[in-house]
Structure 1
Amino acid sequence: MQARPIGAKLTDFTVPPAPGPEVIAGRYVALERLDPSRHADDLYAANAGQDWVWDYMGYGPFATLGAYRAWQAEAAAKADPCFYALRDLARERIGGLASYLRIDRNHGVIEIGHIEISPAMQRSPAATEAISLMIGWAFDHGYRRVEWKCDALNAPSMAAAKRYGFRYEGTFRQHMIYKGRNRDTAWWAIIDKDWPPLAKAHQSWLTPENFDADGRQKLRLSVLTEAASDAASRPSHET
């Protein structure tokens, strides 16, 4: 009987650690383990009057600061999702949240999600660097796959996934019900061999030289990550 194809043998995989350092720091942003006593007030104020930021989340908006603090306290107590508050270092304000979730250490798979960026922090180097740091931490600590999932109708999230260099892998139809609505979920991922050229693209985009005196980007991240992905997928004899 002819041998059937099977996956490549993994000889050097070690189960990675659970996420959870107190701080993951970069040039523009510091990710701090979520603490309602330090983070709830700033972020509630940053989202005030902007209920649309919760449209694709399974929770929110929150009518009062007390209700939001209670939600943060519940979120902060969990190991999965593992929540971080995003501190914009230029403004010294908390401008968003993100988490690691669906953490599968035995298979080296981790997801980044529950991303909520306040309007004041959106489209900033700090917002981009926050996600870049989270991806980098995962691969630096031995994860093989970093996932991004979102409502397939969430055009900004779909565009962001592509911009960071995640590859679209398909849509799970009728995957969830949230807030009484259907959700078709789009799946995106970066795997470990994809990350080194993407990491260089992220680092190039984040250099101060890529921004003019008014803070406007000179070269778009999507241009850099598309070039990195194209180079990585090209057969070696073509490089």
Structure 2
Amino acid sequence: MSERPTGPVVTGFAPPPAPDLPRIEGRFVDLERLDPARHAEDLFAANQGQDWVWDYLGYGPFAALADYRDWQARMAASTDPVFYALRDRAGGRVGGVASFMRIDRANGVIEIGHIEIAPPMQQTPAATEAISLMIGWAFAAGYRRVEWKCDALNAPSRRAAQRYGFAYEGIFRQHMLTKGRNRDTAWYAIIDRDWPRLAEAHRAWLSPQNFDDQGRQRQSLSALTGS
């Protein structure tokens, strides 16, 4: 019988830690472990009248602040997903949430998901930096693979994944039911050997030299990551 091929031996790998930092600081944004007492009111107000932001999520919209605060309390108590609130350093307001989820320490795999950016923070350097900080933390902690998954119909999320440098890996058909609707899921990932190049692209995009006096980017992140 001919030899059956197997994958390369992985040496030096140890299960990385679960996300446990209370705060991750950036230039434009700070990520703070979710706390409904500190974060619910700002974010509820930022999402008011914008019910479309919940279209591809498995929860929301929330009719009242109390309902949203209760949801945040449940998420804040979770160890998977681990939620962070995104606080804009310039204005001091909370403009979104994101989480580390499907945390598979034994295999060094982690996903960034449950991303909900309110309209005031969308398409800002703070929103971009928040995800970049999360990816960077994961690889610095020793994860081998960072995943991004979204509804295959969610075109903005798919564009965002490619902009950050996530590689498209395919569609899982009939993967989930979300709010009673079928969801085909698009899968993307960055692996550890790809991150050094992408990290340099992220640093270049976030550098002060990449923005003019009006705060407009000189080079797009898509151009820098090669997506």
Is there any run of 5+ residues in structure 2 with no aligned partner, and where?
none
Report Cα offsets for 1:102-160 as digits up to 9, x if no partner: 00000000000000001000111100000000000000000000000000000000000
Q: State how far apart, in whole Å, the 2-side matches of 1:5 and 1:141 are.
A: 30
Paired-residue identity, %: 70
Mapped pair 1:199 → 2:191: no
1:214 CA drift (Å)? 1.2
SS at match of 2:156: helix
Question: Which residues of structure 1 form unaligned runs of 5+?
Answer: 230-239
AA aligned opposite 1:122: Q
Partner of 1:47: 47
Aligned partner letter, 1:62: F
Q: Deviations over 1:147-197 (max 9, x none)?
A: 000000000000000000000000000100011111000000000000000
CA distance in 2, matches of 1:42, 1:191: 35
The one-letter code matched in structure 2 to 1:53 is: V
- Report whether the alignment pairs 1:58 with 2:58: yes
Matched, 1:70 2:93: no
Q: Within 2, Cα distance between the matches of 1:44 and 1:77?
A: 19
* Alignment-derived partner of residue 95 in structure 2: 95
Q: What are the within-5 Å matches in structure 2 for residues 146-225 of structure 1?
A: 146-225=146-225
**Partner residue of 1:86?**
86
Per-residue deviation, residues 62-86 of structure 1 (Å, max 9, x unmatched): 0000000000000100000000000
Q: TM-score, normalised by structure 1?
A: 0.94
Partner Cα separation in structure 2 for residue 15 and residue 181 of structure 1: 36
The aligned amino acid for 2:41 is D
| Map of 1:106 onto structure 2 | 106
The 2-side partners of 1:175 and 1:30 are apart by 33
- The code of the aligned residue for 2:182 comes to N
How far does residue 2 in structure 1 lie from its aligned partner after superposition? 2.0
Give the match for residue 127 of structure 1: 127
Cα distance in 1 for residues equivalent to 2:144 and 2:162: 19
Counterparts of 1:191 and 1:204 in 2: how far apart (Å)? 20
Runs of 4+ that moved beyond 6 A: none
Aligned to 1:236: none
Alpha-carbon distance between aligned partners in 1 of 2:12 and 2:70, rounded to the nearest angstrom: 43
CA distance in 1, matches of 2:204, 2:31: 21
Q: What's the counterpart of residue 233 of structure 1?
A: none
**CA–CA distance in structure 2, aligned partners of residues 35 and 67 of structure 1:** 15
Cross-structure match for 1:21: 21
Counterpart of 2:80 in 1: which secondary structure?
Answer: coil
How far apart in 2 are the matches of 1:46 and 1:209?
Answer: 30
Counterpart-to-counterpart distance in 1, 2:106 and 2:10: 13
- Counterpart CA distance in 2 for 1:152 and 1:100 is 20
1:107 partner SS: coil
